[in-house]
A and B are shown apart, each in its own frame.
Chain A
Amino acid sequence: MVVVTAKQLDEIVHMLAGRRRVLLLGCNTCAAVALAGGDREVETMIQALQLAISRRGMTVEFVGGVLQRQCEPEYVEAMDAEDIDAILSLGCGAGVAMLAAQTGIPVYPALDTLFIGAAQGLGSWRAECSACGSCVLGETAGICPVTRCAKGILNGPCGGVNDGECELGDRPCAWVEIHERLESQGRGASFAHENPPKDDSAGEMYQWDLSAKGGSR
């Protein structure tokens, strides 16, 4: 899922200056699961913004709502945005983009979109995928070197590995983990070859806006 986190209130208040009636819109898919964009966060952020706005002597009216998924045009079309002069989206970047494209009113992000991640327990996720467009996980025992290796190299480990730790000192070496897991699955020999450089043009094979892969950035 897409992992998101709330922006600082200052930044949001700054974006909303001069607005009269703002819809805070949550997204009940990834953003809700990431504990940053569900109904609860919409309600909490409305209260926080009201406090912030009143302390600055501003008046903005806030209303709250949640879409099942902001990144689907059908959900956006079914939304009631009457008498709203701006939307503050508590969705990921894709949600903000869809809302902006569909509604014709200014849409602002209340969240920063961080990564595609997997849950590690309550309120904790780890980046597992960088959406590169040409997946190698089959060869790397399900550990993504593009995401988990600091350098994103396709053939590792590099010379900076020290006792299984990355030279940055803040994470295990992804390549050591890849080799260990391959070994444990009896696939140790499968990485005897070198991986060629990744084809970052993979997405360009398609027209960009029709691409199912997202494509090169």
Chain B
Amino acid sequence: MATARTREQSASTGSAPARLFAPCRAACPVHVDVPGYLLAVAEGRFSDALDIVIERNPLPSVCGRICLRPCEDGCRRCLLDEPVAIAALKRAAADHGVYPTPRHPKRMRPERVAVVGSGPAGLTAAYDLACLGIHVTIYEEKPRLGGMLRYGIPNYRLPDAALDRDISFILGHGIESKTDIRIGRDITLAGLRASCDAVLVTAGLQLSRPVPIEGVDLPGVLTALPFLDAAARGMRVDVGKRVVVVGGGNVAVDVARTASRLGAREVTMICLESREEMPASDHELHDAETEGIRFLPSWGPRAVLGDDEVTGLRAVRCTSVFDAEKRFAPTFDESVSTILDADTVLFAVGQGVDVADLGVPLTQRGAPVHEPGTMRTPVERVYAAGDCVCGPTKVIDAIAEGHRAAAVIFRDLAGDDRPLVELDADAIAIGKVPEHVAHKLERKRRIQMERLEFYEACDSFDEVEFGYTQYEAAREAQRCLSCTTGARLTREKCAACLTCVRVCPHDVPSLQAGGYLYFDLDACHACGACVSQCPALALSLEGTSEAEMSRKMQRALEDHSVDATLAFRCGSAPGGFLHLGKDTTTLTQSCLLSVSERSVLEALQSGAAKVLFAECDAATCRFPHAQELVARSAERIRSILSQLGMEDAFEVVPVEPLEGEYLPWSS
């Protein structure tokens, strides 16, 4: 995968100029064009947003729900208030958009590839290879595809229906799948190799073991993965009233919340780590806490108690988990101990690889031997990728592994390294929001998503989070600072008029010694003021152009009668997606500045009887400095139309909030 670096690092290595990414995009292991799809969501174009996500991530429904979102840690809004809800907006794209029609390659290639395991890495690799024209068959040991996504992640976080949407999109690319087949048991690896040109092993981590202490053989001692698997298949595992979960990671949280849904009244998580060190993500811990899960950090299990069945767990105080070199080396104070009553003890303390019967050489910990760069195993034409070789990682890391595996296999089979070169291309993140800009930016809290109340949530496996409505999603997406999508200058066209310098509220363009115009992209938030005023059309915003606007208008007008009204609506205007009247077709823009005088005249020439500017108001405006410029532009349009005797063909209308409508930003 392309590596993200800071600009300073890039400068110091003096390498070729790298791609400049927004920090969210740079932090994402697959570099999804986050600002690109957030803009599409902000403008209500959910299908466009979904297209953009799928370009780099074929599992939008999945990642929109359960991604651990490194992108949000990088979000430059963190410095102002809270990061944009990037993952939730990916889900909104998948919920409200239409999945693209599978693109079938112009010609199929002769090669065949077998993918062993259908988790995120396997699905992604299969998808990439199929897009490149290779015949792919996925082999899955379990009855349905999805791997850990289906059998490890509980339904209340990732319902089967959401996973199925992604999987059916992927399979739509002509991928075959064979379930209930374990390679090494039902088919030998040699047999598989004989039937195809390459085998990719993405078996994941399927084993979980208890900590080797006294009493773990008692009935009532369970391990995480079989437990979650059974729950995922709809079995009502009887856990009794009191459950103790050993482990402090995200899997342990899933286990604890699942146990509570299976009827446990008292669920306690104990782990070696202190509360601050617990590896589970903060929002998972927060959700578990609201559902009544109790945490007991800094305890090490010593024995499971009970004669014929579990009655409790004895633990001692853990004084530290890691040594000075940050290696796992727990120390205990045996004099401090506690006994927890329990009907069931669940161990969620790490996972192991289960490929012993596969027939590839294994490392000490049982993983396939492989060379990380090429992903090759010592067995010819057999590759391994994902958690089975990397250890436990995030879903999005596994997707990145899948991309890489597909690229190296394609290079080896087809002799074409373009997909690999594309993955390895360098990317750097832009810097922080400069102080002089930060204090000018409006503070806007994240829009809270509706979710089940905790007392409803812990009674069923229904999905807890409802997802944003279209309106909420557009509003939340408008919090994006649009990093790196801002002004691009084509120097050859520049007339050096300094109009951009005069209209920019953030001093992005500045005149340097010698009359050189410099654009500080760290400060730019793509409001489009300079682009809208540049007389030489030397400036542009990424992802927007007059040609694109022209296409959007034609599409919008196609479906309407000759007397249609075309309304350009500011995305920050209240009123949701209400229509502004009969036979009015609406194009939502992130700001009306992106609608040029030319576009308005073109719309009238293309058959619109009238054009409206549906404005936001001061309370919701995203770019206050733009109001004067939009007013100037409207005045100019009026002047031209009055010369043509068409005064009535254009109007600026304020959009009133609907009765009772809540305005998330204005309060």
Contacts and interface: CB of A to CB of B under 8 A. Distances in A.
Interface of A: 8-10, 28-29, 32-33, 35-41, 43-44, 46-48, 50-52, 54-55, 66, 119, 121-123
A37 B495 CA distance: 11
Interface in B628-667: 632, 640, 643-646
Interface stretch (B195-203, B218-226, B444-452, B601-609): B601-609
Interface stretch (B394-402, B529-537, B571-579): B529-537
A108 to B, nearest CB: 17
A40 B601 contact: no
Contact of B493 (A28, A43, A122): A28
Interface residues of B, number: 27
Contact of B502 (A40, A66, A121): A121
A32 B495 contact: yes
Interface in B249-269: none
A40 B604 contact: no
A38 B601 contact: no
Nearest to A10: B643
27 contacts: A32-B497, A32-B536, A33-B495, A33-B496, A35-B533, A37-B535, A38-B497, A39-B535, A39-B536, A40-B534, A40-B596, A43-B546, A44-B601, A44-B640, A47-B597, A47-B602, A48-B601, A48-B644, A50-B605, A51-B604, A51-B605, A51-B644, A52-B643, A52-B644, A55-B644, A55-B646, A119-B498
B536 A38 contact: yes
A43 B640 CA distance: 14
Nearest to A29: B495
B1 to A, nearest CB: 40
B319 interface: no
Given A40-B537, A47-B602, A51-B601, 20 more contacts: A10-B643, A28-B493, A32-B536, A33-B495, A35-B499, A36-B535, A37-B535, A38-B495, A38-B535, A39-B535, A40-B534, A40-B536, A43-B598, A47-B597, A47-B598, A47-B605, A52-B643, A55-B644, A55-B645, A66-B536
B240 to A, nearest CB: 74
Nearest to B532: A40
Contacts, number: 80
Contacts of A9: 640, 643-644
Given A32-B497, A43-B546, A122 B502 contact: yes
Contact of B495 (A28, A46, A48): A28
A52 B643 CA distance: 9
B216 interface: no
Contact of A43 (B499, B537, B645): B537
Contacts of B632: 123
Interface in B486-518: 493, 495-499, 502-503
Nearest to B502: A122
Nearest to A52: B644
B598 A44 contact: yes
Contacts of B598: 40, 43-44, 46-47
Contacts of A43: 537, 546, 596, 598
Closest 9 CB pairs of A and B: A38-B535, A47-B601, A33-B497, A32-B495, A39-B537, A38-B536, A9-B643, A122-B502, A44-B598
Nearest to B646: A51
A9 B632 CA distance: 19
Contacts of B537: 38-40, 43
Nearest to A39: B537
A33 B499 CA distance: 8
Interface centre among B493, B596, B601, B646 (most CB of A within 10 A): B601
Interface centre among A37, A41, A66, A122 (most CB of B within 10 A): A122
A9 to B, nearest CB: 5
A110 to B, nearest CB: 13
A44 B535 contact: no
Contacts of B640: 9, 44, 48
B596 A28 contact: no
Contact of B643 (A8, A35, A50): A8
Nearest to B645: A55
A36 B535 CA distance: 8
Contacts of B536: 28, 32, 38-40, 66
A28 B492 CA distance: 11
A6 to B, nearest CB: 9
Interface in B15-71: none
Contacts of B604: 51
Given A50-B605, A51-B604, A44 B597 contact: yes
Interface in B585-602: 596-598, 601-602
Contacts of A8: 643
A59 B220 CA distance: 87
B535 A35 contact: yes
Nearest to B602: A47
A29 B632 CA distance: 23
Interface centre among A32, A55, A119 (most CB of B within 10 A): A32
Nearest to A27: B495
A44 B643 CA distance: 14
A197 to B, nearest CB: 38
B499 A39 contact: no
A37 B535 CA distance: 8
Interface centre among A8, A40, A55, A119 (most CB of B within 10 A): A40
A2 to B, nearest CB: 13
B56 to A, nearest CB: 34
Contacts of A123: 632
A40 B602 CA distance: 14
A39 B546 CA distance: 12
A39 B497 CA distance: 13
Nearest to B493: A39
Contact of B535 (A33, A46, A51, A54): A33
Nearest to A46: B598
Interface centre among B497, B604, B645 (most CB of A within 10 A): B497
A54 to B, nearest CB: 7
A151 to B, nearest CB: 33
Contacts of A39: 493, 535-537
A54 B605 contact: yes
A48 B596 CA distance: 13
Nearest to B597: A44
Nearest to A35: B535
A20 B637 CA distance: 26
Nearest to A119: B498
Nearest to B636: A44
B212 to A, nearest CB: 74
B205 to A, nearest CB: 58
A36 to B, nearest CB: 8
A166 to B, nearest CB: 29
Contact of A40 (B498, B503, B535, B644): B535
Nearest to B537: A39
A54 B601 CA distance: 13
Nearest to B496: A33
A38 B494 CA distance: 10
A29 B623 CA distance: 30
Contacts of A122: 499, 502-503, 533
B447 to A, nearest CB: 35
Contacts of A66: 536
Interface centre among A36, A39, A51 (most CB of B within 10 A): A51
A32 B494 CA distance: 10
A32 B535 contact: yes
Nearest to A121: B502
A8 B597 CA distance: 16
A55 B644 CA distance: 8
A45 to B, nearest CB: 9
A15 to B, nearest CB: 15
Given A39-B535, A39-B536, A51-B601, A44 B596 contact: yes
A46 B599 CA distance: 11
Contacts of A48: 601, 640, 643-644
